[in-house]
Amino acid sequence: MGELEDRRTAVSEARFESLLDTAADGVIVIDETGRMLVFNKICEQLFGYTSQEAIGQNVSLIMPPEFSVSHDRFMHNYHRTGEKRIIGIGREVSGMHRDGTVFPLELSVGEAKTAEGRQYIGVLRDLRSRRAVEQRVSQLQAQVVHMTRLSAMDEMGAAMAHELNQPLTALLLYLQAVARQVRACHADEKPPSDKMLGVLDKAVLEAERASHIVQRMRQMVEKRDPERATIDLREVVNEALDLSEFVAQGATVTIRRVFGMTPIQVDADATQIQQIILNLLRNALEVAKESEERWVKVSIGSDDRSAFVSVTDSGPGFSEDVGKSLFRTFSTTKKSGMGLGLAISRAIAQNHGGDLMADPGGNGQGATFTLMLPMHHSDEAEEDTWG
Amino acid sequence: MYIIVEDDPSVADALESLLSGAGLPVRVFASAEELIHSAPPTPEDTMIVDLGLPGMSGGELVRHLEKAGATPRVIAISGKSSRTIARETEGLAAVKILRKPPAADWLEAITA
């Protein structure tokens, strides 16, 4: 009996060994005290220790010092309270190579109750290459967003010139008026009058109006890294609508705003969200312009988990075929590419953990585009620890 | 009489300051319709009109006055491209154009 059991154990151990060494991920087994019992080949590559060196040592060997201290505490806590902080969950943590290099790891932990007490099995995946790809993607995205902002700027160019013309014209005329009056006073040897000062004040106001327009445009165009912050979606959308109305001055499409009274907080980059809204709005206005009723409705709502911004137009909606290809890059039903805009908008939304959805409408219903973003949760304090 | 037809209140006010500061008689209208419903201008008047008025445009106003036979001297102001200005003033009798923003003294240009 005993002999057979021993043989079985030996076979299963050999199988386990070869499994460990062929695994694509790092595998570590530790006991209740944090001592490493298993350290596979991938771990040797990840951390720069041989398995002989590692086995028997505390697992804090492969953690940055700031985590190794808390790890003992977390294990202790778990044994005392049974509260699972990582077991069966998995999370992103930092590991440390023998040479001191700290790098991101995805760690999943399982627990086994053995005759020799509790043991924990950790599976580790190096996140560095994935991280590099993610970084590259978000860099590219930022670049493309910048480009679309520039092309939007191009379209706005004519509107802008017109908009700046007004305050500049008024400013120059006020100055011409004052210059004349000062010259006339000079000739008559009279002191300048209060009226001239009044005109100068108005000239200053016009100069400010012009610079305000430039500032607003600059905010839209400047290239910068995404900045996440907790924002009230209503404010951010409102600002985008104001800007759009300002650019489309004199247009005959009514923009209806359906907003609630309570703030809707999301964690997002305000400028990128405005970029999406402007994009949706531009498309909707274009469609609404050709329709009979000529309106665009922008509504904001939320449930427990998600916030929504919906943009509906008074147009005829679009066919199912169009709907399918809508988000494909470069696909468009218009001459001036809106496909790219939608594809980018969706990418931005997904980057925020949200999405961009289209309801094609039809049968007298206009199309609706809905931007969905996860709601902000203040109690979501994530700790980056091994515990 | 100098008649200003301009929808931007600041531009209208600045023009008025310039002309009335020089002692010239001025009346200001915010739209073509407002002017038409008031007393029609006479050939002795000078009308400074923004081509890009909302509602009836500046060009349409001039055409309307020409048809009614009450054509004042017309100075058109515009911030648009020269091509757009050419299209908007097509078929009108001699119209002087001043482009926004001003590159020279407008009082001289208007009273010349």
Element (H, E) at A46: helix A41-47
Which of chain A's residues have a Cβ under 8 Å away from the Cβ of B102?
A: 169, 172-173, 176
Q: What is the mean pLDDT of chain A?
A: 80
A213 touches chain B (CB under 8 A): no
Tell me the average pLDDT across A212-224.
Answer: 65
CB-CB under 8 Å, A161 with B14: no
Res. A383 pLDDT band, cuts 50 70 90? very low
- Within-domain flag for A180: yes
Query: Taking CB atoms and an 8 Å limit, are B13 and A170 in contact across chains?
Result: yes
Tell which wins on pLDDT, A12 or A46.
A46
Hey, is the C-beta of A142 within 8 angstroms of any chain B C-beta? no
Question: Quick one: A244 and A365 in the same domain?
Answer: yes
Let me know if residue A385 belongs to a domain. no
pLDDT at A380 over 50: no
CB proximity B56 to A under 8 Å: no
Looking at the fold, whether A247 and A290 belong to one and the same domain comes out as yes
Domain boundary among A104, A126, A148: A126
Q: Check if the beta carbon of residue B47 is closer than 8 Å to that of residue B75.
A: yes
* % chain A with pLDDT above 90: 26
User: Is the pLDDT reported for residue A387 higher than 50?
Assistant: no
Mean pLDDT of the residues in chain B: 90
Domain check: are A106 and A180 in the same one? no
Question: So what's the pLDDT on residue A74?
Answer: 79
Q: Do B106 and A170 touch (CB under 8 A)?
A: no
Q: What is the pLDDT of residue A174?
A: 94
Q: Residue A332: what pLDDT?
A: 44
Question: Are A214 and A170 members of one domain?
Answer: yes
Within a domain: residue A386?
no
At A330, is the pLDDT very low, low, confident or very high (cuts 50, 70, 90)? very low
Q: What is the DSSP letter of A32?
A: T
Is A384 within the bounds of a domain? no
Cβ pair A332, A344 in contact under 8 A? no
pLDDT computed for residue A250 by the predictor? 57
In order, the DSSP letters of A121-169 are: EEEEEE-HHHHHHHHHHHHHHHHHHHHHHHHHHHHHHHHHHHHHHHHHH
What is the mean predicted confidence (pLDDT) over B9-30? Answer: 94
Cα Rg of chain B (Å, integer):
13
User: Domain check: are A165 and A28 in the same one?
Assistant: no
Are B60 and B76 contacting, i.e. CB atoms less than 8 angstroms apart? no
More confident residue, A194 or A168: A168
Joined tokens for residue A153: 């700027």
| pLDDT tens for each residue of A143-152 | 666 666 665 5
Does the pLDDT of residue A370 top 90, yes or no? yes
One-letter amino acid for residue A67 of the chain:
F
Q: Pick B102's closest partner by Cβ from A169, A199, A205.
A: A169
Select from A309, A287, A301 the least CA-distant residue to A361: A287
CA-CA distance, A179 to A104, in Å (whole number)?
68
> Over 80: is that where the pLDDT of B19 sits?
yes
The verdict on A363 and A247 lying in the same domain is: yes
**pLDDT higher than 90, residue B47:** yes
Is residue A161 assigned to a domain? yes
Confirm or reject contact between A386 and chain B (CB < 8 A). Answer: no
Q: Which residue has the tokens 């199988």?
A: A15
What are the phi and psi torsion angles at A306 (to 5°)?
Answer: -130, 150
Token pair 């009226």 in the structure block, residue: A195
> Of A225, A253, A269, which marks where a domain is finished?
A225
CA of B79 vs chain A CAs: smallest distance (Å): 6
CA distance B45 to B48: 10
Closest CA of chain A from B100, distance in Å: 6
Position of tokens 């590259």?
Answer: A136
Q: Collect all residues with Cβ–Cβ distance below 8 Å to A180 and sequence separation of at least 6.
A: B18, B21, B22, B107
Provide the pLDDT for residue A13. 77
d(CA A367, CA A322): 11
- Angstroms from A327 CA to nearest CA on chain B: 36
**Contact call for B107 and A166, based on CB within 8 A:** no
Q: What's the total number of domains in chain A?
A: 3
Quote the tokens at residue A33.
């005290």
- Characterize the bridge pairing of strands A254-258 and A229-232: unpaired
Least CB-CB distance to B79: which of A162, A171, A177? Answer: A162
Q: Which of A236, A247, A312, A238 is nearest to A280 (CA)?
A: A312
User: Across the interface, do B100 and A181 touch by the CB < 8 Å criterion?
Assistant: no
* List of chain B residues whose C-beta atoms are within 8 Å of the C-beta of residue A210: none
> Which segments within A236-366 are labelled E, that is strand?
254-258, 265-268, 295-302, 306-313, 355-359
Is-contact A103 A126, C-beta < 8 A?
A: yes
> Do residue A122 and residue A163 come from a single domain?
no
pLDDT of residue A144: 61
Q: A242 and A334, same structural domain? A: yes
Contacts with A167 from chain B: Cβ below 8 Å? 10
A37 residue type, one letter: L
Distance (Å, rounded) from C-alpha A73 to C-alpha A81?
Answer: 12
Structural tokens at position A205? 């106001």
Please, what is the end-to-end C-alpha distance for chain A in angstroms? 42
Instruction: Provide mean pLDDT across the span A54-70.
Output: 88
φ/ψ of residue A218, rounded to 5: -60, -40
Q: Domain containing A85 — which CATH number?
A: 3.30.450.20
Best residue in A171, A175, A176, A199 for a mutation probing chain B (most B CBs within 10 Å): A176
- Amino acid making up residue B67: K
10 Å Cβ neighbour count for A299?
17
Cis preceding linkage at B101, omega within 30 = yes
Q: Is A180 on the interface with B (CB under 8 A)?
A: yes
Residues A93 and A158 in one domain: no
Q: Say whether A281 sits in a helix, a strand or coil.
A: helix
Does the distance separating the beta carbons of B101 and A169 come in below 8 Å?
A: yes
Q: What pLDDT score was predicted for residue A232?
A: 94
CATH number at residue A254: 3.30.565.10
Say if the Cβ atoms of A172 and B52 lie within 8 Å. no
| Mean pLDDT, rounded, for A161-172 | 86
Residue A351 counted as domain residue? yes
Classify residue A85: in a domain, yes or no.
yes
User: Which residue has better confidence, A9 or A229?
Assistant: A229
Q: Are residues A96 and A186 in the same domain?
A: no
Note whether residue A381 is domain-resident.
no
- The dihedrals phi and psi of B29, each to the nearest 5 degrees, come to -125, 140
Across the interface, of A161, A173, A202, the residue whose CB is closest to B102 is A173
Domains delineated in chain B: 2-111 (3.40.50.2300)
Indicate yes or no: CB of B17 within 8 angstroms of CB of A171: no
Question: Which of A72, A107, A126 delimits the end of a domain?
Answer: A126
Q: Which domain holds residue A164?
A: 128-225
Q: If you measure CA to CA, which chain B residue comes closest to A174?
A: B14
Determine the distance in angstroms separating the CA of B67 from the nearest CA of chain A, rounded to an integer.
27
pLDDT computed for residue A2 by the predictor: 63
Quote the pLDDT of residue A307: 95
pLDDT tens digits, B21-36: 899 999 999 999 999 9
Do A164 and A97 lie in a common domain? Answer: no
Q: State residue A83's pLDDT score.
A: 74
What's residue A323's pLDDT? 67
Asked whether residue A274 falls in the same domain as residue A357, the answer is: yes
Residue B10 with chain A: CB contacts under 8 Å: 166-167, 170, 202, 205-206, 209
